[in-house]
Structure 1
Amino acid sequence: MTLWGLFLSGFLGATLLPGGSEGVFAWLVLHHSYLPHLLIGVATLGNTLGGIVTFLMGRWLEQKIPQGQVAQATHQKAVAWIQRYGSVALLGAWLPIIGDPLCLVAGWLKINPWPAFFFMALGKGIRYVFLWQALA
Protein backbone atom coordinates (compact mmCIF):
# COMPACT_ATOMS: atom_id res chain seq x y z
CA MET A 1 0.00 0.00 0.00
CA THR A 2 1.28 3.45 -0.88
CA LEU A 3 0.34 7.07 -0.26
CA TRP A 4 -1.85 6.90 -3.38
CA GLY A 5 -3.73 4.02 -1.77
CA LEU A 6 -4.17 6.09 1.38
CA PHE A 7 -5.42 9.04 -0.66
CA LEU A 8 -7.85 6.86 -2.61
CA SER A 9 -9.17 5.08 0.50
CA GLY A 10 -9.63 8.46 2.21
CA PHE A 11 -11.42 9.87 -0.82
CA LEU A 12 -13.76 6.91 -1.29
CA GLY A 13 -14.37 6.60 2.45
CA ALA A 14 -15.72 10.16 2.54
CA THR A 15 -18.22 9.62 -0.24
CA LEU A 16 -21.49 7.80 0.24
CA LEU A 17 -19.72 4.57 -0.70
CA PRO A 18 -19.00 2.16 2.15
CA GLY A 19 -15.46 2.00 3.44
CA GLY A 20 -12.94 3.89 5.44
CA SER A 21 -9.32 4.90 5.40
CA GLU A 22 -8.43 4.18 9.01
CA GLY A 23 -7.17 0.67 8.29
CA VAL A 24 -4.89 1.81 5.47
CA PHE A 25 -3.69 4.74 7.58
CA ALA A 26 -2.91 2.45 10.52
CA TRP A 27 -1.10 -0.06 8.31
CA LEU A 28 1.09 2.67 6.82
CA VAL A 29 1.87 4.11 10.27
CA LEU A 30 2.85 0.71 11.62
CA HIS A 31 4.69 -0.77 8.61
CA HIS A 32 6.30 2.18 6.83
CA SER A 33 8.52 5.05 7.83
CA TYR A 34 6.54 7.91 6.29
CA LEU A 35 6.73 11.22 8.11
CA PRO A 36 3.63 11.73 10.26
CA HIS A 37 2.69 15.05 8.65
CA LEU A 38 2.85 13.42 5.20
CA LEU A 39 0.50 10.60 6.19
CA ILE A 40 -1.86 12.94 8.00
CA GLY A 41 -1.81 15.41 5.10
CA VAL A 42 -2.48 12.82 2.38
CA ALA A 43 -5.25 11.15 4.37
CA THR A 44 -6.85 14.50 5.24
CA LEU A 45 -6.65 15.75 1.65
CA GLY A 46 -8.20 12.60 0.19
CA ASN A 47 -10.89 12.45 2.86
CA THR A 48 -11.72 16.15 2.51
CA LEU A 49 -11.94 15.98 -1.28
CA GLY A 50 -14.31 13.02 -0.93
CA GLY A 51 -16.40 15.08 1.48
CA ILE A 52 -16.43 17.96 -1.00
CA VAL A 53 -17.73 15.61 -3.70
CA THR A 54 -20.49 14.51 -1.32
CA PHE A 55 -21.23 18.18 -0.55
CA LEU A 56 -21.50 18.91 -4.29
CA MET A 57 -23.77 15.90 -4.73
CA GLY A 58 -26.01 17.55 -2.13
CA ARG A 59 -26.03 20.75 -4.20
CA TRP A 60 -27.10 18.73 -7.22
CA LEU A 61 -29.66 16.81 -5.18
CA GLU A 62 -31.26 20.03 -3.96
CA GLN A 63 -32.39 20.64 -7.54
CA LYS A 64 -34.09 17.23 -7.63
CA ILE A 65 -35.53 16.94 -4.10
CA PRO A 66 -37.00 20.06 -2.52
CA GLN A 67 -36.04 20.84 1.04
CA GLY A 68 -38.46 19.33 3.53
CA GLN A 69 -38.66 15.91 1.89
CA VAL A 70 -36.16 14.01 4.05
CA ALA A 71 -37.06 10.45 4.87
CA GLN A 72 -34.07 8.74 6.52
CA ALA A 73 -33.55 9.33 10.24
CA THR A 74 -29.80 9.89 9.83
CA HIS A 75 -30.50 12.57 7.23
CA GLN A 76 -33.05 14.21 9.53
CA LYS A 77 -30.39 14.34 12.27
CA ALA A 78 -27.91 15.82 9.81
CA VAL A 79 -30.43 18.50 8.76
CA ALA A 80 -31.02 19.40 12.42
CA TRP A 81 -27.26 19.65 13.08
CA ILE A 82 -26.61 21.79 10.01
CA GLN A 83 -29.56 24.06 10.73
CA ARG A 84 -28.44 24.51 14.32
CA TYR A 85 -24.68 24.91 13.89
CA GLY A 86 -24.19 25.88 10.22
CA SER A 87 -20.86 25.04 8.63
CA VAL A 88 -19.27 24.39 12.06
CA ALA A 89 -21.33 21.18 12.15
CA LEU A 90 -18.99 19.83 9.49
CA LEU A 91 -16.32 19.39 12.15
CA GLY A 92 -18.26 16.13 12.59
CA ALA A 93 -17.89 15.11 8.93
CA TRP A 94 -15.44 12.38 10.02
CA LEU A 95 -18.00 10.67 12.27
CA PRO A 96 -19.17 7.19 11.29
CA ILE A 97 -22.74 6.91 9.98
CA ILE A 98 -23.66 10.61 10.17
CA GLY A 99 -20.51 12.22 8.69
CA ASP A 100 -21.33 11.57 5.04
CA PRO A 101 -24.97 12.65 5.42
CA LEU A 102 -23.73 15.84 7.12
CA CYS A 103 -21.72 16.71 4.01
CA LEU A 104 -24.59 15.80 1.70
CA VAL A 105 -27.14 17.79 3.68
CA ALA A 106 -24.82 20.80 3.98
CA GLY A 107 -24.67 20.94 0.20
CA TRP A 108 -28.40 20.33 -0.08
CA LEU A 109 -29.09 23.21 2.34
CA LYS A 110 -26.71 25.44 0.32
CA ILE A 111 -24.39 26.15 3.24
CA ASN A 112 -21.55 28.52 2.25
CA PRO A 113 -18.97 26.13 0.75
CA TRP A 114 -15.70 27.77 1.86
CA PRO A 115 -16.33 27.68 5.62
CA ALA A 116 -17.93 24.25 5.15
CA PHE A 117 -14.80 22.90 3.43
CA PHE A 118 -12.57 24.47 6.10
CA PHE A 119 -14.44 22.86 9.00
CA MET A 120 -14.70 19.58 7.12
CA ALA A 121 -10.91 19.50 6.61
CA LEU A 122 -10.22 20.57 10.18
CA GLY A 123 -12.36 17.81 11.69
CA LYS A 124 -10.96 15.15 9.40
CA GLY A 125 -7.38 16.29 10.01
CA ILE A 126 -7.80 16.25 13.78
CA ARG A 127 -9.13 12.70 13.55
CA TYR A 128 -5.97 11.56 11.72
CA VAL A 129 -3.73 13.34 14.22
CA PHE A 130 -5.40 11.47 17.08
CA LEU A 131 -5.26 8.21 15.17
CA TRP A 132 -1.54 8.69 14.48
CA GLN A 133 -0.89 9.51 18.15
CA ALA A 134 -2.74 6.37 19.21
CA LEU A 135 -0.64 4.21 16.89
CA ALA A 136 2.80 5.79 17.24
Structure 2
Amino acid sequence: MTDYLLVFGSSLLAATIAPFYSEVVLAAVLTRQPDAALLLWLLASTGNTLGAMINWWLGKYLLHFRHKRWFPVNDKQLERAQRWFQRFGVWSLLLSWAPVGGDALTFIAGIMRVPLALFTLLVFIGKALRYAVVLWFADTLLLS
Protein backbone atom coordinates (compact mmCIF):
# COMPACT_ATOMS: atom_id res chain seq x y z
CA MET A 1 0.00 0.00 0.00
CA THR A 2 2.86 2.38 0.80
CA ASP A 3 4.33 1.83 -2.66
CA TYR A 4 1.05 2.78 -4.28
CA LEU A 5 0.76 5.94 -2.19
CA LEU A 6 4.36 6.83 -3.09
CA VAL A 7 3.65 6.48 -6.82
CA PHE A 8 0.42 8.48 -6.61
CA GLY A 9 1.86 11.18 -4.34
CA SER A 10 5.11 11.60 -6.27
CA SER A 11 3.19 11.81 -9.54
CA LEU A 12 0.82 14.42 -8.14
CA LEU A 13 3.69 16.47 -6.71
CA ALA A 14 5.69 16.23 -9.94
CA ALA A 15 2.86 17.84 -11.91
CA THR A 16 2.60 20.90 -9.70
CA ILE A 17 5.00 23.80 -9.76
CA ALA A 18 7.15 21.97 -7.19
CA PRO A 19 10.37 20.59 -8.71
CA PHE A 20 10.00 16.82 -8.43
CA TYR A 21 10.35 13.81 -10.74
CA SER A 22 8.09 10.81 -10.31
CA GLU A 23 9.63 8.53 -12.95
CA VAL A 24 12.35 7.28 -10.59
CA VAL A 25 9.80 6.41 -7.91
CA LEU A 26 7.61 4.65 -10.47
CA ALA A 27 10.52 2.60 -11.83
CA ALA A 28 11.70 1.68 -8.34
CA VAL A 29 8.26 0.49 -7.29
CA LEU A 30 7.91 -1.45 -10.55
CA THR A 31 11.07 -3.41 -9.72
CA ARG A 32 9.47 -4.45 -6.42
CA GLN A 33 6.01 -5.09 -7.88
CA PRO A 34 6.37 -6.04 -11.56
CA ASP A 35 2.91 -7.64 -11.66
CA ALA A 36 1.27 -4.35 -10.67
CA ALA A 37 2.36 -2.41 -13.78
CA LEU A 38 -1.19 -1.60 -14.89
CA LEU A 39 -2.20 -0.32 -11.44
CA LEU A 40 1.04 1.67 -11.17
CA TRP A 41 0.38 3.21 -14.60
CA LEU A 42 -3.14 4.20 -13.55
CA LEU A 43 -2.01 5.66 -10.22
CA ALA A 44 0.83 7.65 -11.80
CA SER A 45 -1.34 8.92 -14.66
CA THR A 46 -4.18 9.91 -12.33
CA GLY A 47 -1.92 11.53 -9.75
CA ASN A 48 -0.06 13.51 -12.40
CA THR A 49 -3.32 14.64 -13.99
CA LEU A 50 -4.67 15.78 -10.61
CA GLY A 51 -1.45 17.73 -10.04
CA ALA A 52 -1.94 19.42 -13.41
CA MET A 53 -5.50 20.26 -12.34
CA ILE A 54 -4.04 22.11 -9.34
CA ASN A 55 -2.00 24.21 -11.79
CA TRP A 56 -5.13 24.82 -13.89
CA TRP A 57 -6.99 25.96 -10.78
CA LEU A 58 -4.09 28.23 -9.77
CA GLY A 59 -4.05 29.78 -13.23
CA LYS A 60 -7.79 30.29 -13.27
CA TYR A 61 -8.28 31.72 -9.79
CA LEU A 62 -5.03 33.42 -8.87
CA LEU A 63 -4.73 35.64 -11.95
CA HIS A 64 -6.10 38.64 -10.09
CA PHE A 65 -2.90 38.53 -7.98
CA ARG A 66 -0.67 38.96 -11.05
CA HIS A 67 0.56 42.38 -9.93
CA LYS A 68 1.80 41.06 -6.60
CA ARG A 69 5.54 40.65 -6.20
CA TRP A 70 5.26 36.91 -5.42
CA PHE A 71 3.26 36.06 -8.57
CA PRO A 72 5.37 33.57 -10.58
CA VAL A 73 5.28 35.42 -13.94
CA ASN A 74 5.33 39.07 -14.94
CA ASP A 75 2.88 40.70 -17.38
CA LYS A 76 5.23 40.37 -20.36
CA GLN A 77 5.79 36.65 -19.77
CA LEU A 78 2.08 36.16 -19.23
CA GLU A 79 1.16 37.88 -22.49
CA ARG A 80 3.77 35.86 -24.41
CA ALA A 81 2.46 32.60 -22.93
CA GLN A 82 -1.14 33.54 -23.74
CA ARG A 83 -0.22 34.36 -27.35
CA TRP A 84 1.61 31.04 -27.66
CA PHE A 85 -1.37 29.16 -26.22
CA GLN A 86 -3.78 30.95 -28.56
CA ARG A 87 -1.55 30.08 -31.51
CA PHE A 88 -1.31 26.35 -30.75
CA GLY A 89 -4.63 25.91 -28.95
CA VAL A 90 -5.90 23.35 -26.51
CA TRP A 91 -4.24 20.49 -28.41
CA SER A 92 -0.94 21.68 -26.96
CA LEU A 93 -2.16 20.23 -23.66
CA LEU A 94 -1.20 16.82 -25.05
CA LEU A 95 2.36 18.04 -24.38
CA SER A 96 1.69 18.80 -20.72
CA TRP A 97 3.82 15.79 -19.82
CA ALA A 98 6.98 17.56 -21.03
CA PRO A 99 9.55 18.13 -18.29
CA VAL A 100 10.24 21.66 -19.51
CA GLY A 101 7.17 23.83 -19.99
CA GLY A 102 4.51 21.23 -19.24
CA ASP A 103 3.61 22.65 -15.84
CA ALA A 104 3.52 26.20 -17.20
CA LEU A 105 1.24 25.00 -19.99
CA THR A 106 -1.30 23.70 -17.49
CA PHE A 107 -1.11 26.95 -15.53
CA ILE A 108 -1.72 29.00 -18.70
CA ALA A 109 -4.64 26.72 -19.63
CA GLY A 110 -6.30 27.80 -16.39
CA ILE A 111 -5.67 31.46 -17.18
CA MET A 112 -7.12 30.91 -20.66
CA ARG A 113 -10.21 29.33 -19.07
CA VAL A 114 -9.95 26.01 -20.92
CA PRO A 115 -13.00 23.98 -19.85
CA LEU A 116 -11.97 21.58 -17.08
CA ALA A 117 -13.42 18.46 -18.77
CA LEU A 118 -11.51 19.07 -22.01
CA PHE A 119 -8.38 20.02 -20.07
CA THR A 120 -8.56 16.84 -18.00
CA LEU A 121 -9.09 14.60 -21.01
CA LEU A 122 -6.19 16.02 -23.04
CA VAL A 123 -3.81 16.17 -20.09
CA PHE A 124 -4.65 12.61 -19.01
CA ILE A 125 -4.01 11.29 -22.51
CA GLY A 126 -0.60 12.96 -22.69
CA LYS A 127 0.46 11.96 -19.20
CA ALA A 128 -0.85 8.39 -19.53
CA LEU A 129 1.14 7.92 -22.73
CA ARG A 130 4.27 9.22 -21.01
CA TYR A 131 3.88 6.85 -18.07
CA ALA A 132 3.24 3.95 -20.45
CA VAL A 133 6.58 4.74 -22.11
CA VAL A 134 8.31 5.08 -18.73
CA LEU A 135 6.95 1.72 -17.61
CA TRP A 136 7.92 0.09 -20.89
CA PHE A 137 11.50 1.38 -20.59
CA ALA A 138 11.68 0.41 -16.91
CA ASP A 139 10.37 -3.05 -17.71
CA THR A 140 12.75 -3.46 -20.64
CA LEU A 141 15.85 -2.11 -18.90
CA LEU A 142 15.34 -3.12 -15.28
CA LEU A 143 13.31 -6.31 -15.37
CA SER A 144 14.73 -8.06 -18.44
- Determine helix, strand or coil for the equivalent of 2:34: coil
For residue 11 of structure 1, what is the aligned residue in structure 2?
12
Aligned length: 132
1:55-100 Cα deviation digits (max 9, x unpaired): 100001222338x92437xx83x43442123221111111012000
Aligned-pair identity in percent equals: 29
**Partner Cα distance (1:80, 1:132) in 2:** 35
For residue 101 of structure 1, what is the aligned residue in structure 2?
104
Deviating beyond 6 angstroms after TM superposition, the runs of 4 or more aligned structure 1 residues are none
5+ residue gaps, structure 2: 68-73, 140-144
**Partner Cα distance (1:93, 1:7) in 2:** 18
Counterpart selection for 1:110 from 108, 113, 121: 113
Question: What root-mean-square deviation, in Å, do the aligned CA atoms of Structure 1 and Structure 2 show?
Answer: 2.0
For residue 85 of structure 1, what is the aligned residue in structure 2?
88
Paired residues of 1:93 and 1:102 also in contact (CA < 8 A):
yes
Structure whose CA Rg is larger: 2
2:22 partner amino acid = S
Paired residues of 1:87 and 1:112 also in contact (CA < 8 A):
no
5+ residue gaps, structure 1: none
For residue 35 of structure 1, what is the aligned residue in structure 2?
36
TM superposition score normalised by structure 1: 0.87
Paired residues of 1:88 and 1:116 also in contact (CA < 8 A):
no
TM superposition score normalised by structure 2: 0.83
**Partner Cα distance (1:81, 1:42) in 2:** 31
